[in-house]
Structure 1
Amino acid sequence: MRADLVRRRAALLAAVAAGVLLILGLTSVPSVVAPAHAVEPGYARLTLTELTPSTVTSAGGDVVRVRGRVTNTFDRPISTLKVRLQLGSQVRTAVGLRTSLMAPSSAFPVLTPQRSVAETITPGQSAAFDVEVPISGSGGLQIEDTGVYPLLVSVTGVPESGGLMQVAESRSLLPVLSLPASATRATGFVDPAYGAGDARLGRDGSVAPDTSAPAALTMIWPLAATPQLAPGVLGGETEPVRLISDRLAESLKPEGRLGAQLTALEKVAQPDGPDARLRDGLCVAVDPDLLVTVHGMTLGYVVSEDPSDPRSATVPGTGQADARAWIAQLRSIAEQLCVTALPFAQAGLDSLSTIGDEQLSTTAVTGAADIVDALLGIESARDVTIPAVGTLSNAGRDVLTSQGRTGAAIASSAVEPAATDALGRYRSGGVGLQTYDVPISAALGAAGTRPAVPSIMPSWQQPDLRGESPVSRRQSALAALAFPMLTVPDSDDARRGPVTGRSAFVMPPTYWSPTAEDSAALLGAADLLLASGTAREVPLRDVAGSLPEATETAPLVTPGDTDPLVAKGFPISSAQAGEVRSHVALTSQLKSSLVGSPDTVTTPQAYVAPLYEDALRGIATPETQTLNEARRLRTMRIEAVSSTLDHMRQAVSLLDPGGRYTLASERSPLLLIVRNDLALPIRVEMNIDAPEALNVGELGVQEIPPMGTRQIQIPTHASTSERATVNIAMVTSTGVPLSEPITLSIYSNAYGKVLFWITIIAGVLLVLLVARRLWHRFTGEPDPADEDRPEPDADEIRLASIPYQQRLDLTREDPGDLPPADRKDP
């Protein structure tokens, strides 16, 4: 009971304080704006369902209409619910686009009359409201000039056992392009023929758009996703395409994050449509890694149950059909709209500098455009690099210079020019810089299904969006897009002007998620601004062509109030950079030893390409400001690539014959069998360590067929029959060790020098004995060796003269006719 009483008293005090603020209507704004909401948490939730017009124009009527719904999230009824609109002062800076949404209620001095919503709503119950207020004049929003204004929708009520308080609110921005007719303003009209007046004020009191200094509009439309291909999988269609999850399949659906964006872009890309100027000022920025992944999905794919293990179990993917439809739709759009390439997998330039591998930098920067062109069948816009994090360090700039890139688009908070340029273009070293405002990027990223906050956005500039409805977030995005066109900077002193000048280079976060409604509204607003004359389209190719001409120098800096590690795109550590370098070097060596031909299933380049790409995916800029997950993914990819490279080395092996090997003769070859489990032939060499007694001949480079074995004959010459221990190691033709060495005990039937001399002596004796017998035969002298042989008798002499067949017949008829030595028992 006591705790309940304390809570009630606290609520009553808060209600009294809120009531006093509402009555006083304070107009002062603190010098440092911080999140300060007068809403008591847990009472109600306010959801906007409509705000029209989204951009105030002279042709859009003279009222603003807001529809919404109030839901009781308290555990007790809330009564006397009323709603009103409040308007703040015109936003003058890009930072104000975000901080104005964080200001207290006192920063919204214009108050419209309250309108009743409901007498009482019980817990969980909702009540709808519909409010219309005049744009100008008393009782309305009192807007008298063009620009962007913060708008607060406030709901007050009386919770049970409490007092009157603000129970819910919604904050948004209202862009005013022009104003409709007003009798009050008409009294101030001055005919140009009789004097000088406001050139934009019409006779009927309408206010025309300010077209005195049209902003240069270049709108980038990023299409990107966090890397989804599983690491350590070889390419060339030799293995199934493997993803770490099936999230991308949902995103590619027509109603998904990436599918909805193409639906909106497709309408703009119609060649016979009315949006020709918008098409010229719009450029689709595509992550090549996304295209590689989607292309792989079109071939059929699987999802890994353990992404850290390249050989883990998998389940079939579900998005093949959606992937085919999405990439076909993008190809159709790319034929009509400008397309440029983001760095591959959003690889951080600082990480590329730390790794220091030229081939990797080329793939990430220059090769990115080649991949986009090949997969979409177009010629993309080049020479303007768009780092994902929005900053550029001196090391990152040197990477661009080494790749011949002459331009980059970065945040205005990442430079400190001595004097501002009219179009926000500067020079740092040999790279021209096009700047853009991060608060505008943040407002665009806040729209959609999953708000995305740029990592270099200081927390004090980022409002809490958890309670804001999609309509209010979309409305703020529209106003932020219009802000550069509706706000003309002070041109009296260039040093005081904004860094971006009159440039409206619009760069949303690369991982943003606008819905189809968000995309259509943003593109429609851009088209309206171009048609009104407050903006002029500037194609990205024109921006690229003008950046080398930038003259104002601007030192590169780390944006203030941000984590330097985050501001540089979470660069890789020196230790992990060393691992990546060794992986890239080993991959290159293996690729050079592989053999490609028209008969092979793929090429060496395509076979190992995913391993190079995995190195870039490992240094991808994190999607959020949370680095723990980025660290985990980076480590996972590095370890998976290491595992695959080790598996490739073990896949080519010598089959051990068992340790003991006997040569049939002293010159018999040593027979070995080599197995190759890779999908391509590979060239290998043998490093043989043998004793002097076993001379091993030169074998040279051998080519081992894919997915099979080959018997290799190693020429040998044994000079002894003693056991010889031979160590055999196999390496690629580029010197990479393969599998494990084997050790053989070699035995030979050779007897060495003793056998040689015995053979020579025996041969000499045989020749002498033959010569002796021949000598005695030719001279007619009896051979002494025949002296002990008895003389033949008459029967033996007679038998010797009988032919063999006749003698055989005599044996059969009467063995007694034969001499005793030739008789055989029957």
Structure 2
Amino acid sequence: MTRRSGHWAVGVLMCLLLMGAAVLPAAASVRPAGAVSAAVSGAAGVGSASPEVGARTGVSAQAGAAGSPGWRAAEQYSNSGTLEFTVSSVTPQVVTASSGNVLTIRGSVRNVSGADVTGLRFRLQRGAALPDTAAVRKSLVEPATDPTAAIGPFRPFAAAPGAAGGADQPSGGAVAAGQQVDFAVAEWIGGSSGLQITSPGVYPLLLNVNGTTEIDGRQRPLRLGELHLLLTVTAVPGQADGKVLQAKQSVPVGLLWQLSSRPHRGVQGYFLDDQLAAEISAGGRLDTTLRAIETSALPGAVVPVIDPMLLDELAAMSAGYRVLQGGGNGRPAVQPPLTDSPQPPPTAPATPPQQPAGSDAAGSAAAPVTAEPARPDGADPLRLPEPATVPGPGAAAAAAFLQRITALTRTHRLIVLPTSDPDVQSALDGGVTDAGAQLAALAEAGRRTAAARLGSATGIATEVAVPPGPATTDTLAQYLGAGQTGAVLRRSSVAAGSTVGSSNQVRVELGEGRALPAVLTDAEVGPLLDRALAPAPAAGGAAATPAQTKLAGSNVVPTPSSALNTTVALLAARAVDGDTEPVLQLPSDTVDTRGLAELGDALAALSGADVVTGADPSALLQRTPTTAPRVEPVAEATGAGLNPDYLRHYRDTKAELAEVATALAVPNRPAGSALTRTLAAATAPLLSASLRSDTAPGDAVLATIDGTTAFLRQGVQLRLTQGSYTLASKDAPLRLDITNSLPYPVLVNVTVSAPANQGLTAISPAQPKLIEPGQTAILQLQTSVQKAGRLQAQAQLVSPSGAPWGPPAVLNIRSDAYGALTVVLIAVAGGVLFLMVVLRLWQRWRQRGNPDGGDAAGDAAGGDAVGGDAGRGAAAGRAAAGGDTAGGDPAGGDPAGSDTAGSDTAKAGRPRNSGGTDHTGDVRVADALTPAAPTPGPPPVPAPRADDTTGSAEPAGPAGKER
């Protein structure tokens, strides 16, 4: 062939292909003159194929999701695993009288073998209508490899040149090894050619692709791949008889679609960042979701689930709001601790009014939190500090978005969650003991918010629980206690041993005769809806097994369109069978609103033939049959939850705040209580399930509270003396100084402890001490001391509940009190001294009563030593003073004779007692020190005669010889 003729042939082929692309869509409702079936190359929209999604799974494209029952591979053909299919769209998903008469399948195909393939050709084959749900399920499990009810001719399978989506540039009918190309095929639905469908029903389809590839060095024509689909027809396009699908009962379908966001506000209601403004702006996440709900073709099938926290935040924004400086790039700013001192309020607030986080007040905003109103004494009220902020730009967008949500009440049934949608299961697992009480408070706050923001529309349900994950008995009991009289649960919340069957309406046993009516997600359609609405694969999902990846010899990548194709077929089959089990679905957080739009169109088409109807979860729960299966909840919830470290931080902060609040709760002094209530209000949304993936907003709020409580604790301290404390007696009081540098009055107490061997016991006052702002007060403790000396004890400042307030302080104490042993010794010594004094007094009395005789007892005890010596001393004294008066001459005498004779005479004539002691010399110490009165001497002795030369001496006394 010459080069010119080759160019001419290529040009003709391109013209024919372009004509086919233009003619087929235009002839949707026109019966073709002949059997028109074409491979459409370069058709509009073909290049926008959805990207490949997840692991290869399912034996047919309509299965589309792991978890569908009983999938297995069909008969294998030689090299039939060469091609891998990805279906991006099937149009129409539901064939109706007005949908058009052309079926178009778009997608991409990849050569996953190691050899090039050429000469690709396709044909569409149809089987007979499937009579019931069982037949549909069998077709999903064992798709027919050669349906023969209608078989079209093979036609060239040409790829779309220049297609987007990452496809390589193909050459006509050839796909190199590893190459991916986009494709689009079209076929007539009704009429004498094409699929030749003449009555409503669910039909199996086969896209059979053949081609040539090299085997053993030779080019062989083989079947290289199969793509199985189901075609749901409620009415044949252009058919005059008007036959429609005969549905015995409409299947209730409800798609619970959550409108919520994470917490955005901190203490005092300031916004930590401006991410919410971006989410509600045109093209933002929440805007796109709400627009998909608003434009859904079947409003009754979409049930918006509203978080009241979102309504509160939107109302606060619409009234004018402030954003903390530093909050950006999706990371919230951390508000500084509230450590300012009292100051008068400015005449014009520096920031617009802010509503505290977690507030459910009816107004869109409240004035900045004032710690204390004006007092009767005229003092300025206390105000909490205002952090550095910037004006928020999203006020208008917030007001408009809030109006759009309010408008939903006129067209949709709504479910209102407890405020912030708390993850009760994670909270209970993480040791948050008051999770049930918090849930009850948040549920009541949500009801009030819904009434204030959305009005009293009859379509608003506030009694339906929608846990964010699997729930155990304890968790469901908390919902029941919070006024949630029914629940929509994931099927994973039911214990494996429970007998549920195909029923989706059950009663969950909670023990003690309690049961919670519940609607479970559908085990069969649920995974398909997940795939239809969440094209992104779940992170960490298990890889598909080889048996799941084969589809009649071909690999099929599951996509939203293939999953939706199976969903509508199953719903239609159920309606034909009269199966009225409700299908409620809880989409995951990673939903694709494009999938919602396509699903809404398909459900609307089914609704037109009375195949499906919108489900009202509240009404379904109220009508739960008494014969509904009774099931047990799972014993342990698995799956995603709040971070355990975050929950630990949350618990510790809440406990610390509660202790500080007891100290600041001064009667008739609301300043401190206002502060702690503001801090507590900021913790209300911090158990939100939206914080599972990122706890940064919660961490930012907890950091502000931690800093504030630390400041409050540091402001109240014991002021110790430089030396030691002295206790003068065993029960002397111990006086300690407490300083309060805070701008709030506080109530505190002190405990003092010492080791047992210190002998110190201190009794704290029964009531805590009130310490005024900026003042120092003395706290007096009654003590009991058992011994004297230096002691050491620990003083601990405590809150009114008895919890420690700061670290303990060491007290050095000096005790002057006498202990028991000391007192006993002193008493014994005193008694001995007393007896000695009494004895001496008695002796003295005896002596005065008998001065000559003396004290016989005293003589016996020591007369010689004391009395005798003293007497002799006294006599000697008298001799030295002037001789013996008694022995002298009365007339004056001769001094010399007197001296000699008188002295000797006295010595010779002095009587002695039997013990050799001179009684006249028995003188007491006291008497020796006192001048004695003159006593009469011995009788005078006659003077010797002059002729008596020898002298006559006085005979010696009986005691012995003369000395």
Q: Does 1:385 align with 2:405?
A: no
- Asked if residue 79 in structure 1 is aligned to residue 145 in structure 2, the reply is no
- Shift, 1:353, TM fit: 6.2
Match of 1:514 in 2: 592
* 1:268-323 alpha-carbon deviations (Å, 9 max, x no partner): 6xxxxxx7xx44554211356777888899753637999999999xxx99997679
Q: CA, structure 1 residues 32+535, in 2 after alignment: closer, same or farther (shift >3 Å)?
A: closer
Aligned residue pairs, count: 649
Q: Is the 8 A contact 1:65 1:130 kept in 2?
A: yes
Partner of 2:713: 652
One-letter identity of the residue aligned with 1:54: Q
Contact 1:238 1:601 (C-alpha < 8 Å) held by counterparts: no
Residue in 1 that maps onto 2:600: 523
Q: Do the aligned partners of 1:649 and 1:738 also contact (CA within 8 Å) in 2?
A: no
Residue in structure 2 matched with residue 52 of structure 1 by the alignment? 91
Change (3 A) 1:640 1:724: farther
Measured after TM superposition, the shift of residue 445 of structure 1 is 2.0
Residue 530 of structure 1: CA displacement?
3.5
Choose from 800, 805, 818 the match for 1:738.
Answer: 805
Percent pairwise identity: 18
Picking from 544, 556, 562, the partner of 2:631 is: 556
Q: Determine whether 1:480 maps to 2:567.
A: yes
Aligned equivalents of 1:92, 1:346: Cα separation in 2? 44
What is the match of residue 115 of structure 1?
155
**Paired position in structure 2 for 1:263:** 291
Flag the structure with larger Rg: 2
Over 3 Å counting, the alpha-carbon distance change for 1:565 and 1:383 in structure 2 is: same
C-alpha spacing 1:734/1:89, structure 2 compared with 1 (3 Å): farther
Conservation of the 8 A alpha-carbon contact between 1:670 and 1:713: yes
Matched, 1:407 2:486: yes
Change in CA separation of 1:326 and 1:78 when aligned onto 2, cut-off 3 Å: farther
Label 1:46 to 1:535 Cα distance change in 2 as closer, same or farther (>3 A).
closer
Matches of 2:568 and 2:507, distance apart in 1: 22
Maintained 8 Å contact 1:650/1:739: no
Contact 1:444 1:480 in 2 (8 A): yes
Query: What displacement does 1:644 show?
Result: 7.0
Give me the whole-angstrom Cα distance separating, in 2, the residues matched to 1:432 and 1:356: 27
Greater Cα offset, 142-151 or 571-580: 571-580
**343 and 693 in structure 1: CA distance in 2 versus 1, 3 angstrom threshold:** closer
Among 174, 178, 187, the residue aligned to 1:133: 187
Indicate conservation of the 8 Å contact 2:210/2:225, yes or no. Answer: yes
User: Are the structure 2 counterparts of residues 255 and 151 from structure 1 closer, same or farther at C-alpha, using a change threshold of 3 Å?
Assistant: farther
Larger CA deviation: 133-142 vs 319-328: 319-328
Verify: 1:505 aligned to 2:505, yes or no. Answer: no
Q: 2:749 aligns with which of 660, 663, 685?
A: 685
CA distance in 2, matches of 1:171, 1:318: 58
Match of 1:106 in 2: 145
Which of the residues 397, 401, 406 maps onto 1:329?
Answer: 401
Distance of 1:303 and 1:408 partners within structure 2: 38
Which whole-Å CA distance do the structure 1 matches of 2:121 and 2:75 have between them? 18
Mapping of residues 672-751 of structure 1, within 5 Å: 672-674=738-740, 683-689=747-753, 698=765, 700-701=767-768, 711-714=776-779, 725=792, 727-745=794-812
Which residue pairs with 1:787 in the alignment? Answer: none
Matching residue of 1:364:
439
Distance in 1 (alpha carbons) for counterparts of 2:80 and 2:535: 22
Matches within 5 A, 1:175-214: 175-181=232-238, 204-214=240-250
Q: Secondary structure at the match of 1:737?
A: coil
Shift of 1:374: 2.2
Given residue 517 of structure 2, which amino acid in structure 1 is its aligned partner? Answer: G
Provide the rounded CA distance (Å) in 1 between the counterparts of 2:543 and 2:134: 10
Shift of 1:57: 0.4
The CA distance in 2 between the partners of 1:153 and 1:365, in whole Å, is 56
User: Hey, what does 2:304 align to over in structure 1?
Assistant: 284
| Deviation digits for residues 574-606 of structure 1 (CA, Å, limit 9, x no counterpart) | 999999877766654455555598867965344
1:604 pairs with one of 651, 672, 676: 676
- SS of 1:738's equivalent in the other structure is coil
Residue 505 of structure 1 deviates from its aligned partner by: 3.5
Q: Say whether 1:300 aligns with 2:323.
A: yes
TM-score by length of 2: 0.53
Q: Deviations over 1:20-66 (max 9, x none)?
A: x99xxxxxxx9942367979799666454543223210222333122
Aligned match for 2:515, one of 430, 443, 450: 430
What does the per-residue CA deviation read over 1:451-502, in whole Å, with 9 as the maximum and x for residues that have no partner?
36699999899977999789x51453375267435523646xxxxxxxxx41
Which string of whole-angstrom CA distances, capped at 9 and with x for unpartnered residues, describes residues 585-636 of structure 1?
6654455555598867965344134546545659x8x78xxxxxxxxx8999
CA contact (8 A) 1:354 1:577 kept: no
Give the residue type in structure 1 aligned to 2:626: T
- AA aligned opposite 2:585: M
- CA RMSD, 1 decimal: 6.2
Deviations 1:752-809 (A, max 9, x none): xxxxxxxxxxxxxxxxxxxxxxxxxxxxxxxxxxxxxxxxxxxxxxxxxxxxxxxxxx
Pick closer, same or farther for the CA change 1:74–1:674 going to 2, 3 Å: farther
* Structure 1: tracts of 5 or more residues without a match: 1-20, 23-29, 183-203, 269-274, 492-500, 624-632, 751-826
CA deviation after TM superposition for structure 1 residue 262, in Å: 0.9
Q: Is the 8 A contact 2:336 2:704 kept in 1?
A: no
CA distance in 2, matches of 1:326, 1:238: 16
Q: Distance in 1 between matches of 2:698 and 2:75?
A: 43
Q: Aligned equivalents of 1:558 and 1:363: distance in 2?
A: 22
Q: Distance between the aligned counterparts of 2:654 and 2:138, measured in 1?
A: 46
Partner of 2:105: 66
Q: Distance in 2 between matches of 1:296 and 1:49?
A: 42
- Amino acid aligned to 2:799: T
Distance 1:94 1:251 in 2: 42
Q: Which residue number corresponds to residue 616 of structure 2?
A: 539
Distance 1:61 1:530 in 2: 18
2: CA distance between counterparts of 1:330 and 1:490? 43
Partner Cα distance (1:365, 1:156) in 2: 63
User: Cα gap change, 1:292/1:457 in structure 2, threshold over 3 Å: closer, same or farther?
Assistant: farther
- Matches of 1:386 and 1:410, distance apart in 2: 7
Quote how far apart the aligned CAs of 1:724 are. 6.7
Q: State the 1:652 CA deviation.
A: 0.7
Distance 1:147 1:294 in 2: 48
